[in-house]
Chain A
């Protein structure tokens, strides 16, 4: 008997008459709220901004005309010399900077990424109630490692289109077959005397640009 059979046998004995769940039985009472409060699109974006800032992300706003200059400034401020760029990032976003662009290739090693100063990406969506950005590896976001190893992440959120109110509204929009990374503020630890320190292993600086319509 394989271990798998043994474990399944123990489960069936433990719960009595094992049988597949009936369709009707899947009826978990989901009477919880799908969102906590009704907001206009502008209010939703404001809430996202407030919650991101509360967890120490730096939040900026721009329209398409102002985006290249803003990104240029955000890269220049910490003195970035190199920026890694996902393959599908709109070219014009970085038209306002002459920081050296590093293309992420399949052969790019973690050590090479560790020498890059910053990364600029888009996102799949953002959740206002929790102050969360979700990346799903789309071409404007790239592989997971590029938003992890460099110490400075600039993430552009198209508002209000990419912003949802709540976690229950976010999940149906995401494809679980893609690798998903949910980011709520820069990395943090409270492991030493429960004193919160921002920035451990992930990027220690998270700039979020809320890109509005013209």
Chain B
């Protein structure tokens, strides 16, 4: 990788990506902490956090800039290396236990593809089943509408605080910020999300969002911040994970016990029965799904599966891919409301927010099969080094690189840079439990960005123009073609280079039009003798 930025300012590109246009005013690269700390805004908030109505792509620097800062952060690198390698090995063992893994994977893919093909049908069936079971279904076309719906539902209860289960969809739409703006305190209750929320930070991993924080940082955060949100951490809190988990248990318990409104996402929704499924480990999910009087679930429309039986596939593949366990500690399934057990009011908010636009792309739509296991993050050499914040969205890693530019479009610097944040090594495809061919989608999106072409935005078919940033690279390729078409000139150049090498000349970059090419790649060392001279000498050509 050539991310060292040797002798260059802001423009060095990353992994084949040309210099990106800087969105949102850019920011100084090379700040001493990881990208996710962002800029301190005037009000003490961290820029780049989600805003009400969804994340603002313009608040994030393009991937190369963010990654350049992240790869210099040795603590972040060490945390990521430890975490991803640990879970990689565990996952391989858990998956290896099932002799029929490939068949489960193929069946999961087939169920999801079938559902997406008939998504309208299954959503209507789901709505009918949820309604029949005592729930109320709402539809939201985008982040702003979803936030409005949820805020109105919370206001109608008269409550000023809600407890939340970790949910990617509500992060995607910036729900916490929308509720805060409406005077409602939203408490994240997953331990890692609590760490992120107390630190006014951003999640950096789908499964373990605080993977970038180590135990000492977490202890300091708990000591200084917990008291501002509720029960303070014990004064003598140490930094063992058990002590930190205990502090979180005590801090959150008072919130669970008094909560009247819970907000969740869902891992699956079953069309035929109206059943929702939340898969979790800590029990905070059960608390939020069971104790409040009102439950509001915000779920992407792609989370529906046709039948209860279909869960037999995903309940085997998701835990093993995600936490590398045979089964996660707790799974809750509920269908509408049940008299005397759990919330007496249940609202399901079905969220589009770019999903139907993604569905319109025949190559890109496979990203909608994702079940958010995060296995692709843990095997990705780019994620392992750059960390999650560099991806500038709630969806980091390889899946984020294909999902985010489709959900948000590619107008911003960060979104246009994401499809290039990959070496195309294919490890993500190998581990994906629903067989999303992420490299295929990455290449497809790169082509779309470089050459332009038709996309669907907000339900409307439009054409995007080729990105200007790629002109220099195209010029480099044209220059190379001219050279390769002229064997005499090529041979002369090769001999000149071999002689220069003997004199100690070791260029890292090409001059002239070749320069754009070598901005993203280290130039290989020149051989002592051109191959064609060697061939002629050895084989008597």
Contacts and interface: CB of A to CB of B under 8 A. Distances in A.
B282 A202 contact: yes
A64 interface: no
Contacts of A10: 352, 356-357, 359-360, 459
Main secondary structure of the interface of B (DSSP, over half): helix
Interface in A1-57: 2-4, 6-15, 18-21, 25-26, 28-33, 36, 51, 55
Contacts, number: 251
Given A18-B118, A199-B245, A184 B326 contact: yes
A193 B329 contact: no
A12 B104 contact: no
A73 to B, nearest CB: 25
Give the one of B87, B124, B311, B330 with max A CB within 10 A: B330
B121 interface: yes
Give the size range of B's interface with the partner. Answer: 35 or more
B87 A194 contact: yes
A31 B326 CA distance: 20
Ranked 5 nearest A-B pairs via Cβ: A202-B283, A201-B283, A10-B356, A14-B360, A187-B283
Chain B CB count within 10 A is highest, among A51, A106, A182, A203, for A182
Contacts of A212: none
Interface of B: 79, 82-83, 86-87, 97-100, 103-104, 106-107, 110-111, 114, 116-121, 123-124, 133, 139-141, 145, 189-192, 195, 208-211, 214-215, 218, 241-242, 244-245, 248-249, 252-253, 256-258, 270, 273, 275, 281-284, 286-287, 290-291, 301, 306, 308-313, 315-316, 319, 323, 325-335, 338, 340-342, 350, 352, 356-357, 359-360, 365, 456, 459
A122 interface: no
Nearest to B137: A4
Interface of A: 2-4, 6-15, 18-21, 25-26, 28-33, 36, 51, 55, 106, 110-111, 114, 127, 129-132, 137, 143-145, 148-149, 167-168, 171-172, 176-195, 197, 199-203
A189 B282 contact: yes
Contacts of B242: 197
A13 B365 CA distance: 14
A183 B191 contact: no
B252 A201 contact: yes
Contacts of B189: 201
A12 B245 contact: no
Contacts of A2: 139
A183 B258 CA distance: 24
**A12, A28, A131 pick with most chain B CB within 10 angstroms:** A28
23 contacts: A2-B139, A11-B359, A14-B359, A15-B119, A18-B120, A21-B118, A30-B107, A36-B99, A51-B326, A106-B340, A114-B253, A143-B342, A148-B286, A171-B308, A171-B312, A172-B309, A176-B270, A182-B330, A184-B329, A194-B86, A200-B283, A201-B249, A201-B253
